[in-house]
């Protein structure tokens, strides 16, 4: 049971509540009055930054006075859009999940709409967590550098993420991901990939997917990297070998609870720098945001780069 907070327990800090009203297909905007009531009950000193555009929200956060903590209300994409104003700055970040996937928040044990638990967490002192810096190679995003808090995927998982908007609206996050996965299976292809971690070859050969993670899960609850710890100064790479359709379904059933790392068709390793290079342009998502196709990525961990509020 979550203990209710007294107003004084949170009153010593000023907050900027960054709300993406379109997150979670509009859930964040619709639920805002209830969250606002919770904030007022706790007598918090806060201002509201309501922007559907990530760049617009980022610009306003960058203009905040030093010491103002940021409460990101939305999904992984909302948090990711604000990282340039948070990485290496010491500005505290609190997460209130109201997006579609909410995977980083889910790893922290937070559920969409449970404002009491989220506000209880931000009452704690900030603790450093790692971030990832990604450089995209090839196709439209060539040379682009992005900051991530949760992780990235290339191949099958990114392709199915691109299909998520087509999923039935009544399905929950995990159900929508499963629907998109089954739809994507119809067009399954194997592409050669090389995966290097800290300069050493992890895998080279045909693959359907590769992930580089700071968090443990993506896709609304699939535990792709159960050994990840965002406070250990390491990233974790997970790569599949050549799999057929039936094997992919079996792998998905293992990935959901995070029991796939012992499978002979799965290769994984932790390190500080990873490079994934594909033989042809392959779908890529960054913190759940599909950015198109790329031929590779270089990923490095930024130890303790974000001051995350919570115990």
Residues 6+ apart with CB under 8 A from 262: none
The pLDDT of residue 209 is: 93
Task: Give the containing element (helix H, strand E) for 234.
Answer: none
Residues 276-302 have pLDDT tens digits of 999 999 999 999 888 899 999 999 999
Average pLDDT of the residues in 215-242: 95
Question: Residue 142's pLDDT band (boundaries 50, 70, 90)?
Answer: low
| From 4-8, 125-129, 161-165, the region with the lowest mean pLDDT | 4-8
Average pLDDT of the residues in 130-141: 87
The pLDDT of residue 143 is: 80
The pLDDT of residue 140 is: 59
Long-range contact pairs involving 228-234 (C-beta distance under 8 Å, separation at least 24):
228/151, 230/107, 230/129, 230/130, 230/149, 231/127, 231/128, 231/129, 231/130, 231/304, 232/130, 232/270, 233/130, 233/272, 233/301, 233/303, 233/304, 234/130, 234/270, 234/271, 234/272, 234/301
The pLDDT of residue 173 is: 67
For domain 131-308, give the CATH number. 2.60.200.40
Q: Which CATH class is domain 7-124?
A: alpha beta
Query: Which of 148-162, 171-185, 222-236 is modeled with the greatest confidence?
Result: 222-236
Residues 40-76 have pLDDT tens digits of 888 889 999 988 788 999 999 999 999 899 999 988 8
Sign for the pseudo-dihedral over CA of 248, 237, 112, 48: negative
Of the two residues 257 and 114, the one the predictor is more confident about is 257
The pLDDT of residue 138 is: 79
Residues 91-119 have pLDDT tens digits of 999 999 887 778 898 898 888 888 888 88
The pLDDT of residue 311 is: 63
Answer yes or no: is pLDDT of 233 > 80. Answer: yes
- Domain ranges for the chain: 7-124, 131-308
Answer yes or no: is pLDDT of 2 > 60. Answer: no
Of the two residues 87 and 113, the one the predictor is more confident about is 87
The pLDDT of residue 33 is: 87
Quote the pTM value.
0.89
What is the C-alpha to C-alpha distance for residues 29 and 7, in angstroms, rounded to an integer?
25
Average pLDDT of the residues in 201-228: 94
Residues 6+ apart with CB under 8 A from 160: 177, 180, 181, 183, 184, 219
Answer yes or no: is pLDDT of 275 > 70. Answer: yes
Average pLDDT of the residues in 121-136: 93
**Average pLDDT over the chain, rounded to an integer:** 88
**What share of the chain has pLDDT > 70, as a percent?**
94
**What share of the chain has pLDDT > 90, as a percent?**
53
């Amino acid at each position: 049971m979550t203990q209710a907070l007294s107003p004084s327990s949170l009153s010593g800090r000023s907050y900027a509540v960054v709300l993406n009203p379109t997150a979670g297909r509009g859930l964040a905007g619709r639920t805002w009055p209830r969250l606002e009531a919770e904030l007022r009950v706790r007598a918090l000193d806060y201002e509201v930054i309501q922007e559907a555009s990530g760049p617009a929200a980022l610009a306003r956060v960058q203009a905040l006075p030093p010491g103002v903590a940021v409460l990101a209300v939305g999904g992984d994409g909302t948090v990711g859009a604000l990282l340039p104003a948070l990485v290496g700055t010491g500005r505290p970040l609190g997460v209130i999940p109201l997006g579609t996937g909410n995977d980083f928040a889910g790893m922290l044990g937070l559920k969409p709409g449970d404002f009491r638990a989220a506000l209880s967490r931000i009452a704690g002192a900030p603790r450093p967590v790692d971030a990832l810096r990604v450089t995209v190679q090839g196709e439209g995003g060539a040379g682009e550098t992005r900051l991530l808090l949760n992780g990235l995927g290339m191949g099958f998982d990114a392709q199915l993420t691109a299909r998520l908007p087509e999923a039935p609206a009544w399905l929950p996050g995990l159900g929508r991901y499963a629907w998109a996965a089954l739809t994507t299976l119809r067009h399954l292809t194997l592409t050669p990939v090389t995966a290097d971690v800290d300069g050493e070859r992890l895998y080279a050969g045909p693959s359907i997917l590769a992930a580089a993670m700071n968090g443990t899960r993506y896709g609304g609850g699939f535990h792709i990297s159960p050994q990840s710890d965002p406070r250990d100064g390491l990233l974790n790479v997970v790569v599949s070998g050549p799999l057929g359709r039936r094997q992919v379904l079996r792998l998905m059933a293992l990935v959901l609870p995070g029991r796939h790392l012992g499978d002979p068709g799965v290769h994984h390793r932790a390190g500080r720098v990873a490079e994934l290079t594909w033989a042809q342009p392959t779908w890529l998502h960054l913190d759940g945001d599909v950015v198109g196709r790329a031929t590779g990525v270089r990923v490095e961990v930024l130890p303790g780069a974000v001051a995350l509020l919570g115990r």
